[in-house]
Structure 1
Amino acid sequence: MDWQELESLQPETIAAEAVLLSDDLQRWKSGADSAVVVHADAMQQMQAHAASSSNEIMGILRGRALAEGGRTLTLVLRAEPTEKASETRTSVHMTLASWQQAWSTMHDDLPMVGWYHSHPGFGVFFSYTDSASQRAYFREPWQVGVVIDPHSGEAGAFLGRESVPVTMWTAEQIAG
């Protein structure tokens, strides 16, 4: 397979074998057209952040994105909670201050690949507002929105401008 990292992130050629462990590589090769792999530490941080409040919360996701033809693979290596977001029981909005805080934490070359937020007790789905946010800020086909329901423990991933539900799995390690 000839994998190429998306040029908007890092214009270099990468073999999938260099970033996925063998079990994950086999799962990806036998799976759907697009998928999301979340490092276990990032998933744990998202779940802990979601469980920390009865309000909806949000954060940014950082990692890598790979593409081959129409297939995408988004690797989430870090989850970073945002501060100063406008949170209520049923909604959360990024403020200018929360975006500035998010950008100020990016001191390495690991790009933003998406966002996450919680639906405490409401289930895992993308609402109309979630879809509008995805279209406005995370519209690339490899950009992911993750929803976590801390009450049920469920999580789901939605890709690109159209917020398409995709397969998501957690990996204890990601090579590289």
Structure 2
Amino acid sequence: MDIKKALNEKIKRYPNFPKEGILFADISTLLADEEGFKLLKNDLKEHYKNHNFDYCVGIESRGFIFASIFASIFDIPLILIRKKGKLPGECYTQEYELEYGFDYLQIKKDVFSNKKANVLFMDDLLATGGTANAAIKLLKQAGANKISAYFLLDINLNGLNKIKNECEEVYCVLKD
């Protein structure tokens, strides 16, 4: 069985959503599918079986799903990168560009007890790389030493080129 093909078939696409010219990949159809969810977990286990991460980091909000799965499978701490104003205490803040303006991500300053942390950050989609690039900058500020990235889907808007030199590894399960 081709796992990547099976996973891809479980993601429903909606043309012209949320606006004209966008092909929206709805990952909720994959997550709601028992077989698809099991395939996704198995792919994570297989791909990362020989890696040794100290922390798994999820980017708000769909990245939390993948990071929670990963942290549970490999029994490592889960760290959250959130939108500005959602985390208490002292935080590092990073601005990033959206197609329609700017937004901010934050991570708590005291998040890594191991200041030479080997970190995997996870999100659902890689598009232009703006969010991922902001996450990388935050992780470096917080003390991450080695940074790897995981995305369920690379929608091929040049995001990979923006981040690949900043990461030990970038793994995109699927590519559109």
TM-score (norm 2): 0.29
- TM-score under structure 1 length normalisation: 0.29
Structure number with higher relative contact order (C-alpha < 8 Å, ≥ 6 residues apart): 1
